[in-house]
Copies of this chain bind each other. A is one copy, B any other.
Amino acid sequence: MGKTLDFYFDFYSPYGYLAHYKIDAIAERYGYQAHWHAILLGPAFKAVGSKPLLDIPMVGEYSAHDFARTARLEGVPFVMPATFPGATLAAGRAFYWLQDQDSELAKRFAKAAYKAAFAEGRDLLQLDTIKAVAQSVGVDAKALETAIQTDTVKERFKIAVQDSLANGVFGSPFVIVDGEHFWGNDRIPQVEQWLARGGW
């Protein structure tokens, strides 16, 4: 049983999307297992007094360019989702409902959701998109639709988001490993260095 690396991401985070392609391979290379946590950036923005990058003067224009430029450099497709920014509640609830059954299935769902949003530009705020994404990884869409409308599943996601804040997670992507916190897709190389050297 390897050690755990915690990977936090918001389904509508462009940099989370970029990082999600890499994190499992990096963790596995050094004998770690990446444990994925869907979060919402909204409460994090509230906690730190910030807002979505695209809504910030000057930073917004820069960021839109940087998302696409970094994706090209990393060799992955990139488009902006149809609705952005937004609170990806259904996606987050679906993720935890699946994770409590089968964590690998939850990861496959998350990867398919990221692909739908940032490779295909689809609208993750629509329940129909979430159902189609779930179906594409073999999940019963009707069962998912019912489950994510229950208070239990809603509460499950809410608590996960609260826990992320309590753990010091204020952005996406965010990695916690060996008690060290790394914020941003641009810290993924440092995460890899940290695992390779056992710290520095």
Contact = CB atoms under 8 A, between A and B. Distances in A.
Interface string A53-72: 00011110110011001101
A168 interface: yes
A72 B183 contact: no
A60 to B, nearest CB: 9
Which of A65, A72, A73: most chain B CB closer than 10 A?
A73
Interface in A168-200: 168, 170, 180-181, 183-184, 186-187, 189-190, 193, 200
Given A72-B200, A186-B187, A190-B73, A181 B62 contact: yes
A86 to B, nearest CB: 21
Contacts of A69: 180, 190, 200
A1 interface: no
Nearest to A59: B48
A47 interface: yes
Given A48-B57, A56-B48, A200-B72, A62 B168 contact: yes
Contacts of A186: 184, 186-187
Contact of A73 (B56, B61, B62, B193): B193
Interface residues of A, number: 28
A2 interface: no
Q: Which 9 A-B pairs rank lowest in CB-CB distance, beginning with the nearest?
A: A186-B186, A58-B170, A48-B59, A48-B56, A48-B58, A48-B57, A73-B200, A72-B200, A62-B181
Given A47-B58, A48-B56, A59-B170, A70 B190 contact: yes
9 contacts: A48-B56, A50-B56, A62-B170, A62-B181, A65-B181, A69-B190, A73-B200, A186-B187, A189-B189
Given A47-B58, A48-B56, A65-B181, 15 more contacts: A47-B57, A48-B58, A49-B56, A49-B57, A50-B50, A50-B56, A62-B170, A62-B181, A69-B200, A70-B190, A73-B190, A73-B193, A73-B200, A186-B187, A189-B189
